[in-house]
Structure 1
Amino acid sequence: MDAKIDALVMRLHEIEAVKFGEFKLKSGIMSPIYVDLRVIVSYPDVLTAVAECMWETLKANGATFDNMCGVPYTALPIATCMSLAHDCPMLMRRKEVKAYGTKKQIEGAFEAGQTCLCVEDLVTSGASVMETVEPLESVGLKVKDVVVLIDREQGGEARLASHGLRLHSVLPLSRVLKTLEAAGKMSSELVQNVKDFIAANQTMPVAGAEVKKPTRMSYTARSELTDNACAKQLFKLMETKKTNLCVAADVDTAKELLEMAEILGPEICMLKTHCDLYPDFTESFGAQLMAIAEKHNFMIFEDRKFADIGNTVVGQYSSGVHKIADWSHITNAHIVPGSGIIDGLKSVGLSKGRGLLLLAEMSSKGTMAKGEYTEAAIGMAAQHPDFVMGFISTNPKAWKAEWSKGLINMTPGVQLQVGGDAMGQQYNTPHNVIVENGSDVIIVGRGIYKASDPAAAAKEYRAAGWEAYQTSIA
Structure 2
Amino acid sequence: ATCVSMKTSLPMVMRRKEAKSYGTKQIIEGNYKAGQKCVVVEDIVSSGSSIIETSQALTAAGLVVTDAVVFLDREQGGSENLLQWNIKTHSIFKITAILDTLLATNRIVPDVARDVREFVRTVKAPLVRSLQKKEVKKLSFKERALLTSHPLAQRLFDIMEEKRTNLCVAADLTRSSEVLQLADILGPHICIFKTHVDILEDFSPDFPARLKDLAQKHTFLIMEDRKFADIGNTVQQQYTHGVYSIQAWADLVTVHAFPGPAVLTALKQASLPDQGCVLVAEMSSAGSLGSKDYTEASVKMGEDVPDFVLGFVCQSRVSDKPNFVLMTPGVQMDTAGDALGQQYCSPSTAVSERGADIIIVGRGITKSEDPAAAAQEYQKAGYNAYMASVAS
Q: TM-score range by the shorter chain?
A: 0.5 to 0.7
Distance of 1:263 and 1:327 partners within structure 2: 20
Does residue 423 (structure 1) correspond to residue 340 (structure 2)? The answer is yes
Question: Counterpart in 1 of 2:35?
Answer: none
Question: Counterpart in 1 of 2:201?
Answer: 279
Give the superposition deviation at 1:417. Answer: 2.9
2:184 pairs, out of 262, 276, 284, with 262
Q: CA RMSD in A?
A: 1.2
Give the superposition deviation at 1:376. Answer: 0.7
2:165 pairs, out of 217, 239, 243, with 243
Question: CA contact under 8 A between 2:144 and 2:323: conserved in structure 1?
Answer: yes
| Deviations 1:70-105, CA, capped at 9 Å, x for gaps | xxxxxxxxxxxxxxxxxxxxxxxxxxxxxxxxxxxx
Map residues 50-69 of structure 1 onto 2, 5 A cutoff. Answer: none
Question: Counterpart in 2 of 1:220?
Answer: 142
> SS of 1:279's equivalent?
coil
Give the superposition deviation at 1:214. Answer: 5.2
> SS of 2:270's equivalent?
helix
Question: Counterpart in 1 of 2:281?
Answer: 360
Does residue 381 (structure 1) correspond to residue 298 (structure 2)? The answer is no
Letter in 2 for 1:293: A
Aligned residues: 257
Runs of at least 4 residues off by over 2 Å: none
Relative contact order, CA 8 A, sep 6+: which one is greater? 2
Give the superposition deviation at 1:381. Answer: 1.0
Question: CA contact under 8 A between 1:431 and 1:465: conserved in structure 2?
Answer: yes
> SS of 1:419's equivalent?
coil
Letter in 2 for 1:445: G
TM norm structure 2:
0.64
Q: Closer, same or farther in 2 for the Cα pair 1:214/1:228, shift >3 Å? A: closer
Question: Counterpart in 2 of 1:119?
Answer: none
Question: CA contact under 8 A between 1:395 and 1:438: conserved in structure 2?
Answer: yes
Question: Counterpart in 2 of 1:326?
Answer: 248
| Deviations 1:438-471, CA, capped at 9 Å, x for gaps | 1100000000011001011001001000100000
Letter in 1 for 2:141: Y
Map residues 35-46 of structure 1 onto 2, 5 A cutoff. Answer: none
Give the superposition deviation at 1:215. Answer: 3.6
Letter in 2 for 1:339: P
| Deviations 1:144-173, CA, capped at 9 Å, x for gaps | xxxxxxxxxxxxxxxxxxxxxxxxxxxxxx
Distance of 2:269 and 2:154 partners within structure 1: 20
2:268 pairs, out of 315, 329, 346, with 346
Does residue 395 (structure 1) correspond to residue 312 (structure 2)? The answer is no
Question: CA contact under 8 A between 1:229 and 1:355: conserved in structure 2?
Answer: no
| Deviations 1:379-431, CA, capped at 9 Å, x for gaps | 111221100110000111xx4xx621100000000011322111100000111
Question: CA contact under 8 A between 1:360 and 1:370: conserved in structure 2?
Answer: no
> SS of 2:227's equivalent?
strand
Question: Counterpart in 1 of 2:359?
Answer: 442
Distance of 1:364 and 1:222 partners within structure 2: 30
Distance of 1:310 and 1:224 partners within structure 2: 32
2:220 pairs, out of 298, 322, 332, with 298
Distance of 2:291 and 2:269 partners within structure 1: 28
> SS of 2:334's equivalent?
coil
Question: CA contact under 8 A between 1:266 and 1:296: conserved in structure 2?
Answer: yes
Distance of 2:257 and 2:316 partners within structure 1: 18
Give the superposition deviation at 1:226. Answer: 1.6
Question: CA contact under 8 A between 1:390 and 1:409: conserved in structure 2?
Answer: yes
Distance of 1:279 and 1:432 partners within structure 2: 35
Question: CA contact under 8 A between 1:246 and 1:441: conserved in structure 2?
Answer: yes
Question: CA contact under 8 A between 2:136 and 2:320: conserved in structure 1?
Answer: no
Letter in 1 for 2:329: P
Give the superposition deviation at 1:326. Answer: 1.0
| Deviations 1:278-331, CA, capped at 9 Å, x for gaps | 121111111100000110111101000000101111111111110111111010
Distance of 1:257 and 1:342 partners within structure 2: 28
Give the superposition deviation at 1:253. Answer: 1.2
Question: CA contact under 8 A between 1:332 and 1:358: conserved in structure 2?
Answer: yes
Distance of 2:176 and 2:221 partners within structure 1: 17
Distance of 2:136 and 2:268 partners within structure 1: 35
Give the superposition deviation at 1:373. Answer: 0.6
Distance of 1:237 and 1:391 partners within structure 2: 18
Map residues 12-31 of structure 1 onto 2, 5 A cutoff. Answer: none
| Deviations 1:55-80, CA, capped at 9 Å, x for gaps | xxxxxxxxxxxxxxxxxxxxxxxxxx
**Structure 1 gaps, min length 5:** 1-212
Distance of 2:267 and 2:372 partners within structure 1: 34
Letter in 2 for 1:353: D
Distance of 1:263 and 1:465 partners within structure 2: 19
Moved more, 460-469 or 402-411: 402-411
Question: CA contact under 8 A between 2:192 and 2:223: conserved in structure 1?
Answer: yes
TM norm structure 1:
0.53
> SS of 2:326's equivalent?
strand
Map residues 64-103 of structure 1 onto 2, 5 A cutoff. Answer: none
Letter in 1 for 2:170: A
Letter in 2 for 1:383: D
Give the superposition deviation at 1:352. Answer: 4.5
Distance of 1:439 and 1:424 partners within structure 2: 21
Distance of 1:352 and 1:216 partners within structure 2: 28
Distance of 1:352 and 1:315 partners within structure 2: 19
- The percentage of counterpart residues that share the same residue type is 47
